[in-house]
Amino acid sequence: MAVTVTYSNHYKYQLMKGAILLHSDTVKVLLMRSGFVFNKDDHATLTNLKGTTGAITTIAFVDGGGGNDSITDSGDGFLTAGFVVGNSITVSGSTSNNGTYVILAVTAGTIEIATASLTDESAGDTVTIVAEDELASGNGYTKDTKTTGTITVTEDDTNDRGGATYATVTWNASGGDIGPTPGAILYDDTSSDDTIIQYIDFGGEQTATDGQPFSIASGTIRTS
């Protein structure tokens, strides 16, 4: 399958504002969890991959019967926390509903997840909900640490566009496999909101077996 690259719309906006300087900013590379699907509208900043409510007492849980189950927040904080459709979220601190779920729909006050996932539970417990769409650390992969290194900005008069190139990024699998992972996110760690730049779709889940490198060949960030 072919590798494809999709840019976040927020990156284009930030570039036009001058909030991103690829030649000098630190750009980090994240491998994504199995099953992750990128949305160029929703995935704007790092919080859309790693949002959290913090520890709060306004969370309730609703068994939807034959429909979607729901997590509700009377404080209407889910969008502020950065949650988007497709997030893998982990609930802790509840009496009956601790676990990991995938968001099917989200508004300020309601998260919908798959039916038959939750037990009815009123608000009151100190509950924390955390989104985490990056691949878990282990076997040679450590979350949120790898950078592209030096980025070289070029003018491409042949194709009438600008480009920014970086060297191959590699993790070495040790003690087990790295993956499976469907793709990688590049985000600007220097920008004020940790802007997501692009998603590299590997064209299918990829795994580096123990002792083997997992590499993203030298890449290009384009401005058009």
Q: Tokens representing 41? A: 């509208």
Cα dihedral across residues 49, 54, 58, 64: positive or negative: positive
pLDDT for 222 beyond 80: no
Strand 105-106 to 110-113 pairing: antiparallel
More confident residue, 222 or 169: 169
pLDDT for 1 beyond 70: no
Contacts of 66 (CB under 8 A, 6+ apart): 115
In the structure, what pLDDT confidence band is assigned to residue 162 with cuts at 50, 70 and 90?
A: confident
Helix (H) or strand (E) run with residue 14 in it: helix 9-17
How many other CB atoms are found less than 10 A from the CB of residue 157?
Answer: 7
Query: What mean pLDDT is reported for the chain?
Result: 95
Instruction: Quote the pLDDT of residue 224.
Output: 55
Q: How far is CA 39 from CA 36, 54, 78, 201, in A?
A: 10, 25, 18, 12
| Burial (CB count within 10 angstroms: exposed 0-12, middle 13-18, buried 19+), residue 192 | exposed
pLDDT for 218 beyond 90: no
pLDDT for 73 beyond 80: yes
The answer to whether 144 and 132 have CB atoms below 8 angstroms apart is: no
pLDDT tens column, 25-47: 999 999 999 999 999 999 999 99
Domains of the chain: 4-36+135-222 (no CATH), 47-131 (2.40.30.180)
The answer to whether 29 and 186 have CB atoms below 8 angstroms apart is: yes
Summarize the confidence of residues 190-194 as an average pLDDT. 97
- Specify the residue for token string 């969008």: 79
Q: CA neighbours within 13 Å on the CB side: how many for 121? A: 22
pLDDT tens column, 106-119: 999 999 999 999 99
Provide the 3-class DSSP secondary structure of residue 51: coil
pTM of the model: 0.93
pLDDT for 80 beyond 90: yes
Provide the 3-class DSSP secondary structure of residue 213: strand
How many other CB atoms are found less than 10 A from the CB of residue 106?
Answer: 21
CA 175 – CA 29 distance, rounded (Å):
22
Closest by CA position to 12, among listed 24, 25, 22 = 22
